[in-house]
Every structure is written in C-alpha cells, then in structure tokens.
Amino acid sequence: MINGLKFYMALCSGKLTYYLLRIMPTGGKSFPGLVFIKIAGKDALNKLAKRQLDMGSVLITGTNGKTTTTTMIINLLSKDWKLSTSVGNNTLFSLTTDLLINKAQLGVYEYGIRDVKHGTPDLVSDYMQPVGVVYTNISREHTQVAGVKNPFEDYLYAKTLLSRSLKKGILITNADDPNVTWIGQNKEKDNTIVYYGFSLENINDLFEINPVKCPYCHEELNYTKHYMGQRGIYDCDCGFRRPEPNVKLTEFIVQDDSWKVTFNLDVYNYNIKSNILEDITLNLPVVGIHNLYNILCAITTYAAFSTGENIKENIIEYYSNYDFEVPPGRFEILDVDNKIVGVGQGDNGDALKVNSLLMTNYVDEELEFIYCTPDANEEEIFEDHLLSINSLNPDNLIVIPGRTSVDAAKDYYNIIEKQYDSTFIPLEFDFEERINKIVDLVKNSNYKNIIISGCGEEIYFWDYLKKKLQE
C-alpha cells in the first residue's frame, strides 16, 4: 500500500519538474516521470494511471513499425477521445511524464522492450493494467543487451509479458507473423483477440528469408506465401497455422504514382461491445509494403477502441491527407554532392530489407555499401542482414563497427570479405569519430550511389550522421 502523502508529494514534484523543464532550454521529456518514480516508487504508477485515465490504456510494442503505427493510432483515436500519449521515446519514464501532466480518457503508449530486466514489461503490464495491447511483429533484434546474449526465445518472452495483465481486454496482433500470433493465441481465454493480415495473391517477397521456427514445437514452419520477411501464410506439422484475420487487406492495386488499397473489417469494438463491419478503400502515396502493415495495424486498433461512430469517414479523411513523415534516424535518400546517398538505421533484418528495397528504386549505376555491423553475440542479426547485402550485390563494400565491439565487426567482415571488393575500417566506439569517417568516405567516394545502413547505437547516431552529410 502506498502512503497517500508520499504519492501526492511525488505527484507535485513530478509536475513541478515538468514545468521547470519547459522553461529550460534543453528540455528532458522523461525527467519528471523519473522524479515521480524515484520518490513514489513504481507501484504508484498504478494509482496514477487509475487517477488520470478514465478508460485505461493501450500499449503498443513490436520489433518494427512501432513509432509510425503508434503515431497513426494517436492521430486517429484523438478524433474520438482526449488522449495521454508517449511515442518515439518509449520508456517507462516518458509514459509516466505524460500521465503526470495529462488527465485523459484513454492512454496510448509506445513501449519498446529489449529484455525483461531492462524493459520490465511484466511490471509495466501489472501497473498499467491495459485494456488493449498491440503487437506489430517480432523478428530477431537486440540479440545482445548490455553485453549479455539475449536469445530470441527470451526476447519473444519479454514481449509476451507486456500483455500479462490484460484481462477482458483486446489484444491486437498480426496474423501473418507466427511469433505475435502465438502471443495472441495464448491470451484467447481471457480476452478478445483481433488479428490483422494480408489477403492478397499479387504480393510476394522477392528477398530470401532465413528459416522461421514454430513458436509451439520449434520445428521449421512451412510457408505457402511470403509477404514480407517472416510475415506470410504459414503452417506447421504440429497443427499451428496462420489464423484467419479479422481485418484484411483484400485489394492492392498499383496506379501511376499511388496505391489503391481496400481493407475489410470485422472488429470487436471495446465501447459498443459489438462488431464493426466496414469495407474501406484508400488511395495512398507509394509507401512501401511495410507501411501497409503499419496502416493495417493502426486502423484495426482505431476500430477496436474508437467510440464506434464514423469509423470509416474518419479513417478515409485521415489517410487522404496523410504525410508519411520519416521518424528521426530512419532511412532516407539524400542528395550529397550529386551522389544518391541512402542513409539511416537498419538494426534488424526487416529494417535493413526495407531500406534496401527503397534504395533499389534509386540505384542506376554502381553501388557502394557502407555497412555498420551488429555487436558480439548478434550473429542472427548479421545472418538476416546478409540477405539484404547479397540481394543488393554492391560493387564495393565497406565494413565498419556499428556497435561496441570492433573484434566482432572484424569477424563479420571476415565472413563476407571474399564475396565483394571490400575494406574493413576498425573504428573504435566513438560517435564523433565514426560519423566524421563516414562523411569522409562519402565525400571521397568514386561511386554515385551509396547506401549507409545497419546497426548504430540509437537513433541519435543516424540523425546526427544525416545532418552532417547534408551540411
């Protein structure tokens, strides 16, 4: 039991910190939440959430697309409700900060998890007692955390814990991804599960994929269709198979410079306690297959948690004006001294694949790849990265360490060096030095097309690199 006085002291200190920070030049979005938690303890978060949110909260997690999807969900749901939100900076402190200053009807929070110890998804779930948990997809990423090997099974388990306290709520998950489908199936007893997925014949992933294991029996899954990476139509000899989605992408037509897409919805709505049935057609700019998954996830979540009124109109209105902004640090194509330079974060197999696909639209001459490697104990990520490197088949390959270990980077280099004209640059773990060297490489390169991607510590590295390249 939390002492009432302590709770209110923490509340006041947290709020005061927020107002002080607002008038300070640098800001520090997570700091007030940190102050609150340090004084009142994490347990107080439960009391705070109950006090500040009428309906409760929706938590969003996954490996790819979290930030973009959460942004769309927030924009859509804010048509219906007053929201408390946290996006981009997905820590417990940032979430708490917003709760401190915003009394709202519904909370919508992006929450990133690398492992149980650092992400404490179990505690976040217990304290927040969400009414909804949303999963985008889960693929191999962060196979090392703070110097310790983080096996995929542990990473997946950590993500499942975010829905541990979900009862009589809605879990929204991607039917095309076996890992997050498994999470949904394990919660079917106490909750409504809403699956979304593609229902298309004319989309097929051109990239090879590494084998995907069945989350139940750990044998290799059979795929009859690959939409994107491990997302597709799959089944297993043990009986596990891709479930029929409640929200489907049923039509995908490429027009001159736009995409016409149709979604078919049959979604349980949390507020009216019955199903929403709609067919919605949108005209979108050419956004990439990965964004179709983000949109699918966002409209599913909106349909599930909206007031239940004007869903179709609101979705059409929102996407007719939608500007696909690139989140900080993400991949972008830049013009640097008349060279086409694709640069940005690609921490996992899927992310580098998305970047590579985008790059292929621009490459018309010889290509140089400046590849930033994963760390020690991240061989799985390297394996997934290799598929993208091989499919781009660069004319020149420069390998530099992307994370802490220079030795690990050298080991990865040794695996690929013979396949390409390649160079290894053993740069120590120093942002400034690495960024300056990459800028130097680009300026002095003989190639007109250059891609710079792979692993890099956090988005700041990529964001700063992009800024330096544009100077």
- Footprint of Zn ion (CB under 5 A): 214, 216-217, 236, 238, 240
* 131, HSE (Cβ side, Cα atoms, 13 Å): 18
DSSP H helix total and E strand total for the chain: 16, 19
Nearer residue to Zn ion within complex by CB, 217 or 326: 217
Nearer residue to Zn ion within complex by CB, 220 or 309: 220
* Minimum separation from the CB atom of position 457 to Zn ion (A): 36
Nearer residue to Zn ion within complex by CB, 156 or 465: 156
* Minimum separation from the CB atom of position 230 to Zn ion (A): 14
What is the spatial distance between Cα 124 and Cα 423, in angstroms, rounded to a whole number? 45
* Minimum separation from the CB atom of position 399 to Zn ion (A): 37
Amino acid occupying residue 44 = A
The count of other CB atoms within 10 Å of the CB of residue 298 is 30
Nearer residue to Zn ion within complex by CB, 148 or 238: 238
Q: What are phi and psi of 256, to 5 degrees?
A: -45, -70
Q: What angle do CA 98, 99, 100 make, to 5 degrees?
A: 90
Compute the residue count for the chain.
471
DSSP string of 390-447?
A: HHH--SEEEEEE-SS-HHHHHHHHHHHGGGSSEEE----S-HHHHHHHHHHHHHT-S-
Nearer residue to Zn ion within complex by CB, 216 or 324: 216
Nearer residue to Zn ion within complex by CB, 44 or 175: 175
* Minimum separation from the CB atom of position 71 to Zn ion (A): 35
* Minimum separation from the CB atom of position 123 to Zn ion (A): 31
Nearer residue to Zn ion within complex by CB, 171 or 214: 214
Structure tokens of 278? 């709609």
Yes or no: say if 24 and 18 are a contact pair by the CB < 8 Å rule: no
* Minimum separation from the CB atom of position 204 to Zn ion (A): 24
Pick the closest to residue 406 from 382, 391, 424, 390 (CA basis).
Answer: 424
What is the spatial distance between Cα 243 and Cα 181, in angstroms, rounded to a whole number? 8
* Minimum separation from the CB atom of position 219 to Zn ion (A): 5
Yes or no: say if 49 and 127 are a contact pair by the CB < 8 Å rule: yes
